[in-house]
Amino acid sequence: MMQTLTGPCFVISLTVFVVGMLVRAVWYVRGLDWRLERVAYAYHKDRSIPGALVSIGKWLVPGGTQGWRTQPVAAIAFFLLHFGAVLIPLFLLGHTVLLEHHLGISLPALPQGLADLLCIASITGLILIGVRRFTSPVLQQLNTRQDWFVLVLTFLPFFTGFMARLDIGAYDTWMLLHVLTGELFLVLAPFTKLAHIVLFFMSRAQLGMDFAIKRGGDSRGGAYPW
Q: Is position 163 an interface residue for ligand HEM (rule: CB under 6 A)? A: no
Q: Cβ of residue 49: shortest distance to ligand HEM, in angstroms?
A: 19
Instruction: Determine contact, residues 173/184, Cβ cutoff 8 Å.
Output: no
Indicate if the alpha-carbon torsion angle 28, 33, 36, 39 is positive or negative: positive
Q: Is position 48 an interface residue for ligand HEM (rule: CB under 6 A)? A: no
Question: In terms of CB distance, is 21 or 223 closer to ligand HEM?
Answer: 21
Q: Is position 80 an interface residue for ligand HEM (rule: CB under 6 A)? A: no
The upper half-sphere exposure of residue 117, i.e. CA atoms within 13 Å in the direction of its Cβ, equals: 6
State phi, psi for 137 to the nearest 5 degrees. -60, -35
Q: Is position 58 an interface residue for ligand HEM (rule: CB under 6 A)? A: no
Which of 40, 164, 177, 205 contacts ligand HEM by CB under 6 A?
A: 164
The site map against ligand HEM for 127-146 (x = CB under 6 A) is --x---x-------------
Query: Could you give the residue ranges of the DSSP H alpha helices within the chain?
Result: 2-6, 8-30, 40-43, 45-60, 66-70, 72-91, 93-103, 112-135, 137-142, 145-166, 171-188, 196-213, 215-219
Q: Which residues bind ligand HEM (CB under 6 A)?
A: 6, 10, 13, 78, 82, 85-86, 88-89, 92, 94-95, 98, 115-116, 119, 129, 133, 147, 150-151, 154, 157-158, 161-162, 164-165, 178-179, 182-183, 185-186, 196-197, 200
